[in-house]
């Protein structure tokens, strides 16, 4: 279980305990509508936007990945470090969005697993080396994880943006 999912479960449990504690001091007629009303809209609204958010975040990661693959030779060392930091930050956001989509039931757990795998691969890269610090095996793992996430997004009905297709054509 990821740290994010653990934190989510812990915070949800704390809210539930506080709500139940507040309800036990009041009459029993009021807590039932209070508890059921907020949970129903959250469940119905979340699945419709969750895959879109996670997939949009993935496509941002994909653009950064394409940029790193296409033009890393022309960048200065400082720009390569900044690109690696941007890549790591985008993947961190992807993990959060994928976790929310999985919890909402909008995307399969495979998306979360692959996002976490990408995060772990990038965490092994030394910040000083920049984008050049990603070795061939890590690039292969990142590419395979990205393909799996992309497949899940397309299956969920989120098409690949033309901008991403254009960036891949430059490779």
pLDDT value for 36: 40
| 7 is a domain residue | no
| 33 is a domain residue | no
| 94 is a domain residue | yes
pLDDT digits (tens, 9 = 90+) for 152-169: 999 999 999 999 999 888
Strands (E), the chain: none
> What residues make up the domain containing 139?
47-169
| 109 is a domain residue | yes
**CA 171 to each of CA 45, 68, 72, 89, 168: distance values in angstroms, whole numbers, following the listed order:** 38, 10, 11, 23, 5
Number of domains in the chain: 1
| 35 is a domain residue | no
| 2 is a domain residue | no
pLDDT digits (tens, 9 = 90+) for 112-171: 999 999 999 999 999 898 998 999 999 999 999 999 999 999 999 999 999 999 988 876
| 155 is a domain residue | yes
pLDDT digits (tens, 9 = 90+) for 37-83: 444 334 444 445 667 899 999 999 999 998 888 767 788 899 999 99
User: Looking at residue 74, which CATH number applies to its domain?
Assistant: 1.20.120
Work out the number of other CB atoms within 10 angstroms of the CB of residue 106.
21
| Pair of tokens at residue 50 | 């969750």
| 28 is a domain residue | no
């Amino acid at each position: 279980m990821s740290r994010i999912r653990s934190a989510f479960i812990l915070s949800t449990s704390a809210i539930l305990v506080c709500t139940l504690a507040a309800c036990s001091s009041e009459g029993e007629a009021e807590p039932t509508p209070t508890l059921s009303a907020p949970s129903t809209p959250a469940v119905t609204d979340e699945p419709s936007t969750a895959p879109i958010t996670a997939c949009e975040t993935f496509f941002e990661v994909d653009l950064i990945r394409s940029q790193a693959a296409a033009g890393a030779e022309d960048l200065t060392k400082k720009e390569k470090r900044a690109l690696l930091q941007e890549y790591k930050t985008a993947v961190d956001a992807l993990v959060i969005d994928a976790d929310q989509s999985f919890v909402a039931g909008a995307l399969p757990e495979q998306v979360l697993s692959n996002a976490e795998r990408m995060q772990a691969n990038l965490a092994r890269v030394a910040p000083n080396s920049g984008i050049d610090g990603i070795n061939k095996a890590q690039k292969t793992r990142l590419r395979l994880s990205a393909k799996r996430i992309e497949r899940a997004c397309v299956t969920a009905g989120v098409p690949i943006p033309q901008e991403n297709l254009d960036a891949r054509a430059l490779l």
